[in-house]
């Protein structure tokens, strides 16, 4: 890659890793409370929106697709106002798996993979 693309990739990786750390903190906090607050729902939506957009720009389709699906899901949750208690644990599990997947994909990119 030329220097400009290297700089874009470095910025992408820094921002995405930072957002994924924030996501993990939000998930752990929500799990300890056993529910997602309105602020947490909005913040997860924003994080996924940002990862989706920057991943699309960088043409990292697997990251973009997963982030887009999570963004859509949290849009619906936001519109409904909350997560029903009977679905909370399933949503926590899904979100931790999604976070692990996104971090694994970023690690592949950091390692020079596509």
CATH number of residue 66's parent domain: 1.20.120.160
User: Would the CA dihedral through 54, 59, 60, 65 be positive or negative?
Assistant: positive
Calpha distance 79→85 (Å, rounded):
16
At 56-75, the pLDDT tens digits run 999 999 999 999 999 999 99
Calpha distance 50→68 (Å, rounded):
10
* Residue 32 tokens, joined: 């300890």
* Mean pLDDT of all residues in 84-102: 92
pLDDT at 1: 47
Lowest mean pLDDT across 7-11, 63-67, 78-82, 102-106: 78-82
Tell me which DSSP letter residue 111 carries.
T
| Packed helices 38-58 and 3-33: angle between N→C axes, nearest 10 degrees | 160
At 24-41, the pLDDT tens digits run 999 999 999 988 999 999
Contact 41, 33 (CB under 8 A): no
What range defines the domain where residue 70 resides? 3-110
pLDDT band at 85 (very low <50, low <70, confident <90, very high): confident
Contact 38, 63 (CB under 8 A): no
User: Would the CA dihedral through 94, 74, 39, 85 be positive or negative?
Assistant: negative
Whether this prediction's pTM lies above 0.85 is answered by yes
* Residue 52 tokens, joined: 């989706």
| Number of domains the chain is built from | 1
């Amino acid at each position: 890659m030329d220097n400009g693309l290297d700089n874009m990739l470095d910025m992408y990786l820094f921002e995405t890793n930072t957002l994924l750390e924030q996501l993990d903190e939000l998930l752990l906090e929500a799990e300890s409370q056993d529910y997602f607050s309105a602020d947490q729902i909005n913040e997860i939506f924003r994080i996924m929106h940002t990862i989706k957009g920057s991943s699309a720009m960088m043409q990292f389709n697997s990251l973009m697709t997963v982030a887009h699906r999570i963004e859509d899901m949290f849009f619906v949750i936001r519109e409904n106002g909350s997560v029903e208690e009977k679905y909370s644990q399933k949503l926590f599990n899904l979100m931790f798996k999604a976070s692990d997947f996104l971090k694994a994909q970023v690690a592949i990119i950091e390692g020079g993979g596509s």
